[in-house]
Amino acid sequence: MTLHDDLFPTDVSYGSVGGPGFYTNLITTDSGVDEAVARWSRPRRSYDVSYGIKNYTQLQTVRNHYNARLGCQNTFPYKDPLDFSTNTAATPKHYTNSAAVPPSNADALLGVGDGTTTTFQLRKPYASGSQTVYAPIAIVKTGTTVVSLDLVNQASGWSVNLLTGLITFTSPPGAGVVVRAGCEFYIKLRYGKDVDRVLPLRCDDFSTGSLPSIPLIEDIDGSTIDEDRLPMGGGRKAFSASISIAQSEGVSWELVPASSGLTVTVEAAADMPSGGPHYALYNAGADSLTLKGSATTIGTLAAGAYVRLDIWKVGGSKTWKGMYV
């Protein structure tokens, strides 16, 4: 997909319905206990913007925007009036205005310097109680980014990529230096598959029209796989050292080891619900791999082989079982 620099009409998004969601498999065991298997490691946003269309002009604007994106083939920036700033004190404003409370350079922890790393990802924290979930920021609003090192404002010495949310320092922050930043941002969306074949325009009378439903879906890169493109989540991992895979990253993986003797480690069997499949792994490399569940060896995955990993419960104990192809 290509990101089109064409902001979705803010006067329409201001009246939309939607927000974050997760993809979690809830499995009820024979004893009646619910066990949760997370497929996504971060929230993914979706919206229905049909509620924001109030007149014929807005209807025409949305139709033009849809046609220019070629349906769901390309992405675009979208302003969520309830989630557009890293500053959690920012309140909804009229769609033509910016935040009532501007971003602060202390809003979000981006990382800790090591004297080598120069690039840090802008992100939005969502905190409640002792838990904090971060969502990376894909599109940054021009002129809103503020940065601090150990809470000392940095007016220069860095640059921000507005289309990736990556901050790059001229010199790497020193070891132990806390990097924080804030900004206003847009969400990268695409039109949902439900309207890719037809946008359901309706003429209500001689001067007005409506759209029953216009789904918009967040397009996610990197840390969370788009489930519409890869069933069950996952992706491709090329590696030259042993790695670990968490199910929150996804289920289906094409593994490409650079050499022999490498190990792929998944969760301990005791931490997983019975059944499956919990992983579908394909070795696309030239060397075999060792599969482990924490410290316990599951088996060997030969070059060119595929395995489906399930959890069996035998004698009260859980164990990984592989069905190899």
Q: What is the separation of C-alpha 142 from the centre of its chain, rounded to a whole number of angstroms?
A: 22
Is 320 inside a domain boundary? yes
Please, are residues 42 and 223 in contact by the beta-carbon 8 Å criterion?
Answer: yes
Asked if residue 55 belongs to a domain, the reply is yes
In 3D space, the residue among 262, 243, 251 whose CA is nearest the CA of residue 303 turns out to be 262
pTM above 0.75, yes or no: no
Instruction: Answer yes or no: do 31 and 126 share one domain.
Output: yes
Tell me if 223 is assigned to some domain. Answer: no
184, 240: one domain: no
Whether 126 contacts 132, CB under 8 Å: yes
Same domain (yes/no): 170, 239:
no
**Residue 203 counted as domain residue:** no
Whether 176 is in a domain gets the answer yes
Domain, as residue range, for 98: 10-189
Check whether residue 163 and residue 262 sit in a common domain.
no
Could you give the CA distance from residue 229 to residue 206 in angstroms, rounded to a whole number?
41
Q: How many domains does the chain contain in total?
A: 2
Whether residue 285 is contained in a domain is answered as yes
Statement: residue 50 has pLDDT above 60: yes
For the chain, helix, strand, coil in percent to 5 are: 10, 45, 45
- Same domain, residue pair 129 and 248: no
The predicted-structure confidence for 191-239, as pLDDT tens digits, reads as follows 988 887 777 776 665 555 566 788 899 987 643 333 333 344 567 889 9
Number of H helices, E strands in the chain: 2, 28
220 CB-near residues (< 8 Å, 6+ apart): 42, 44, 226
| Pair 78, 159 in one domain | yes
Q: What is the DSSP string of 91-154?
A: ----TTS--SS---TTSEEEEE--SS--EEE-EEEEEETTEEEEEE--EEPTT--EEEETTEE-
- Domain assignment present for 26: yes
- 282: amino acid identity, one letter: Y
pLDDT in tens, 136-183: 898 999 999 999 999 999 999 999 999 989 999 999 999 999 999 999
In a domain, 206, yes or no: no
